[in-house]
Homo-oligomer: A and B are copies of this chain.
Amino acid sequence: MLEHSGVQAGCLSRPSIGLGPTPLADPVDAMAGPKSASAVLLDALRPLGAVRTLRRRQDLFTEGEPAADWYWLGSGAVQVCAVAEGGRRHIAELVLPGDFFGLEDCDARGASAEATRNAVLLAFPRARAEALVDTDAALSRAFRQVACGRLHEAQARLLRLGCLTALGRVASFLMEMAERRQRHHAETIEIPVTRDGIADYLGLNPETVSRALTELRRRGAIALPARQSIALANRSVLIDARGTGR
């Protein structure tokens, strides 16, 4: 199984342009310490995984269709988004390298998934993956931890959407991104989506996001060296901005 992955790794390394140094190994698990639930799950599922590559703006699945696979993102970026009545778009999840996603356990997808960067991922047939997970207590536990972690994240986002002002949401978003990519010691983080994407993720509109970023730069919290990279200059100012209640 590892050989299989190794063979694929050669293929994987080519199309990946942006995020993620090595598409094969879970970047999160490259850290020291006991194996994380995510690593346990990945190691077990890997033999079932089929490698898929997506180009930017390519769809992976769409809302309403049956959930045939679970996914794990190796490199690039994927956004999972739904459309509300009224045509307004909402990004339910921003998937970064090392994340599982599409872990649904019902007939129809609740949202669509689209690559926002050229991406390489593993697709696990859901029926086989579920059967495997259900037969192994350690795996079952690992999956539960991953799923409960997702629930925690969603509820944390709910709290931020409900309680924070625009500036606070943007500051919070930057800290979330920095934390999720903490393994890269650099203080400059790559944002895998456009301002529109950030807006749809935070329940704002692009202009407001832009204004908030400008304000954070004015306060000295961040710098904007390139279009889609943001440098965290003064974290305490950022934390302070996040505290902005509504």
Q: C-beta contact mask, A125-157 vs B, less than 8 Å → 1, else 0?
A: 000001001110110110111011111101111
Taking a contact as CB atoms under 8 Å apart, the answer to whether A154 and B163 are in contact is no
The prevalent SS among residues of A at the interface is helix
Query: What is the chain B residue whose CB lies nearest that of A152?
Result: B110
Q: Assembly of this chain: how many copies? A: 2
Q: Which of B90, B158, B246 contacts A154 (CB 8 A)?
A: B158
Beta-carbon contact of B244 and A86 below 8 Å:
yes
Additional pairs, 18, CB under 8 Å, beyond known A85-B243, A92-B155, A134-B137: A84-B160, A84-B163, A84-B245, A86-B243, A86-B244, A86-B245, A88-B245, A90-B158, A92-B158, A103-B148, A104-B152, A106-B145, A133-B144, A147-B147, A147-B148, A157-B158, A162-B200, A162-B202
A–B complex contacts, Cβ < 8 Å, 28 sampled: A82-B159, A84-B159, A84-B160, A84-B162, A84-B163, A86-B163, A86-B243, A86-B244, A86-B246, A88-B162, A88-B245, A90-B158, A90-B162, A92-B155, A92-B158, A110-B156, A130-B141, A134-B141, A140-B140, A143-B144, A147-B147, A151-B151, A154-B158, A158-B158, A161-B161, A161-B162, A162-B202, A163-B203
